[in-house]
């Protein structure tokens, strides 16, 4: 049987362990979160520094495939109140520390960060920087929508230290674009990519998705050819996550029958991956491709690559503070997520409370599993030679991996697992063998998209 057929089952993307549906919310409290947050800060701030993720949720129109936390509005008057709340939340965190944090990494995600006008983004970032120090060689990045990223946005963010941006492209085919309600001509993407290069951005990434409604291999190949002509430093090649059962996701603008069959979706992935490799891109972990000149490739080679809620990153920080509605913070010892509505978030911050509504405190076992899963997702190998990596469940885990070893996806020797070239596509399945929380408690309803 075709391996993709065999291993294409619902599974997590492992931007965290435990994954959000398996968080133990009963053992979590904001007080415990603050404790681990302070501990993590003390352990890591003077070493490399910390990361900040700022969620900017607004978009002017709804793309019907989108699974992100967003709020659709054309009213730009929402910008001021939202920025004021994010700055208040930041001050709450800094006050807890009694010392200026050192920022190594900062990412603006969304929603659409470029919904905000450049002056407001400047106000937001200057407010963040006022209470902090900036690490050496900081890594600042943002997600830009090609339709509304202006030269002013690019220049303003560059002057504030941003050197990396990613653009949502998805697909260039007009019929696909019409169906997902996202008309975005190639010329727009070309213009913002060139403008960013001219200004001095060092790494430009394009997001593409396979498995969208009405996609064919011909349309996908044409999209990749157009992408090639702009030579982005990185390409995210995402599998379309069709999750219409999650409330609030706008995936209703098309019929299930408009989606490519499972067979065609696999073909889009396999041929797409081959074409990207022919064009000189190297696959990094899962979903990501990079030119050998990009820092992401270097970090994969040096084994400094890290994976968190923002996806892969070329630097590794222990503490990530997520600001804004729905943002998730990670202290390594715990996760905490903010309120998922704009109003609820602003209300709580204005009342002087951290807007955290749920989270998870990791126990010793979670930490061990987390290290294994990160090793697999980032370095395509893991080992249980050292005592602090030896889970009592190792024999069962190895039992679950046996079939994958027979299928040539992994090699296990001397307490060491290595993902083979053939196994790269299946890193999520390999990581799932270690996911003790998921194995012990199978969900009653479907919660994950397919692994391929």
Ligand X SMILES: C[S@@+](CC[C@H](N)C(=O)[O-])C[C@H]1O[C@@H](n2cnc3c(N)ncnc32)[C@H](O)[C@@H]1O
63 binds ligand SF4 (CB under 6 A): yes
For the CB of residue 148, give the shortest distance to ligand SF4 in the complex, in Å. Answer: 9
What are residue 421's phi and psi, to 5 degrees? -55, -45
- Which among 322, 285, 431, 430 has a CA at the least distance from the CA of 57? 322
In the set 102, 104, 107, 145, which binds ligand SF4 (CB under 6 A)? 145
Q: Where are the alpha helices (DSSP H) in 140-216?
A: 151-159, 174-179, 186-199
Quick one: which of 359, 346, 283 has its CA closest to 28?
A: 359
Interatomic CA distance for residues 376 and 443, integer angstroms? 24
* Nearest approach, Cβ of residue 337 and ligand X (Å): 17
Nearest-CA neighbor of 232 among 285, 323, 155, 164?
A: 164
Q: Please identify, using beta-carbon distances, which residue of 58 and 434 lies nearer to ligand SF4.
A: 58
Map residues 292-311 to x or -, x wherever contact with ligand X holds by CB under 6 A: --------------------
209 binds, among ligand X, ligand SF4, none (CB under 5 to 8 A by kind): ligand X
Among left, alpha and beta (phi > 0; psi -120 to 50; other), residue 287 is: left
Query: 62 is in the binding site of which of ligand X, ligand SF4, none (Cβ under 5 to 8 A by kind)?
Result: ligand SF4
Q: Are strands 381-383 and 416-419 parallel, antiparallel or unpaired?
A: antiparallel
Residue 208 C-beta: closest distance to ligand SF4, Å? 13
Any contact of residue 66 with ligand SF4 (CB under 6 A)? yes
Nearest residue to 78 via CA among 108, 54, 56 = 56
- Helices 151-159 and 186-199 pack at an angle, to 10 degrees, of 30
Burial class (CB in 10 A: 0-12, 13-18, 19+), 294: buried
Residue 168 or 322: the one with the smaller Cβ distance to ligand SF4 is 168
Residues 146-205 that bind ligand SF4 (CB under 6 A): 168
Task: Give the CB-nearest residue to ligand X.
Answer: 168
Near ligand SF4 by CB under 6 A: residue from 35, 38, 62, 138: 62
Q: Single out the residue of 12, 49, 101, 111 in contact with ligand SF4 (rule: CB under 6 A).
A: 111
Binding region for ligand SF4 (CB under 6 A) out of 104-112, 229-237, 253-261, 429-437: 104-112
Strand partners, 307: 312
Annotate each residue in 5-44 with x if it binds ligand SF4 (CB under 6 A) or - if it does not, as one string: ----------------------------------------
Give backbone dihedrals phi and psi of 136, rounded to 5 degrees, phi first.
-70, 145
Q: In the window 232-271, what residues touch ligand X (CB under 6 A)?
A: 238, 240-241
Between 101 and 146, whose beta carbon lies closer to ligand SF4?
146
DSSP state of 261: P
Partners of 282 in the β-ladder: 290
Rule CB under 6 A: say whether 290 interacts with ligand X.
no
- Helix, strand, or coil here: 87? helix
3-state class of 107 per DSSP?
Answer: strand
Residues that bind ligand X (CB under 6 A): 59, 65-68, 109-112, 143, 145, 168, 170, 207, 209, 238, 240-241
Residues that bind ligand SF4 (CB under 6 A): 59, 62-63, 66, 68, 70, 110-112, 145, 168
């Amino acid at each position: 049987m075709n391996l993709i057929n065999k291993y294409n089952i619902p599974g997590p993307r492992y931007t965290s362990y435990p994954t959000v549906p398996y968080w133990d919310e009963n053992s979590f409290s904001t007080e415990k979160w603050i404790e681990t947050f302070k501990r993590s800060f003390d352990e890591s701030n003077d070493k490399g520094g910390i990361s900040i993720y700022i969620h900017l949720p607004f978009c002017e129109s709804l793309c019907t495939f989108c699974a992100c936390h967003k709020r659709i509005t054309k009213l730009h008057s929402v910008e001021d109140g939202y920025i004021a709340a994010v700055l208040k939340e930041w001050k709450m965190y800094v006050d807890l520390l009694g010392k200026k944090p050192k920022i190594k990494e900062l990412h603006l995600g969304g929603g659409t960060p470029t919904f905000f006008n450049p002056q407001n983004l400047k106000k937001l970032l200057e407010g963040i920087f006022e209470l902090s120090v900036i690490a050496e060689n900081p890594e600042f990045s943002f997600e830009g929508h090609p339709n509304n990223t202006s030269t002013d946005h690019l220049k303003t963010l560059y002057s504030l230290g941003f050197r990396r941006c990613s653009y949502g492209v998805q697909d260039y085919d007009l019929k696909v674009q019409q169906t997902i309600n996202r008309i975005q001509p190639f010329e727009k993407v070309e213009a913002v990519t060139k403008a960013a290069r001219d200004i001095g951005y060092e790494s430009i990434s394009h997001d593409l998705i396979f498995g969208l409604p009405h996609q064919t291999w011909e349309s996908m190949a044409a999209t990749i050819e157009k992408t090639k002509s702009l030579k982005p430093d990185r390409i995210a090649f995402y599998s379309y996550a069709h999750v219409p059962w999650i409330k609030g996701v706008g995936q209703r603008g098309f019929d299930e029958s408009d989606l490519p069959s499972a067979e065609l979706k696999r073909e889009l992935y396999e041929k797409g991956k081959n074409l990207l490799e022919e064009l000189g891109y190297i696959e990094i972990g899962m979903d990501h491709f990079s030119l050998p000149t990009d820092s992401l490739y270097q970090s994969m080679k040096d084994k400094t690559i890290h994976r968190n809620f923002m996806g892969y990153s070329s630097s590794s920080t222990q503490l990530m503070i997520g600001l804004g509605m729905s943002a998730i913070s990670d202290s390594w010892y715990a996760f905490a997520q903010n309120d998922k509505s704009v109003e609820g978030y602003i209300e709580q911050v204005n009342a002087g409370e951290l807007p955290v509504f749920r989270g998870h405190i990791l126990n010793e076992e979670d930490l061990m599993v987390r290290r294994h899963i990160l090793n697999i997702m980032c370095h395509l190998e893991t080992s249980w030679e050292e005592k602090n990596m030896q889970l009592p469940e190792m024999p069962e885990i190895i039992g679950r991996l046996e079939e994958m070893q027979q299928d040539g996806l992994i090699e296990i020797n001397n307490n060491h697992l290595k993902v083979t070239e053939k196994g790269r596509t299946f890193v999520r399945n390999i990581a799932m063998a270690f996911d003790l929380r998921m194995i012990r408690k199978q969900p009653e309803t479907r919660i994950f998209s397919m692994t391929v």
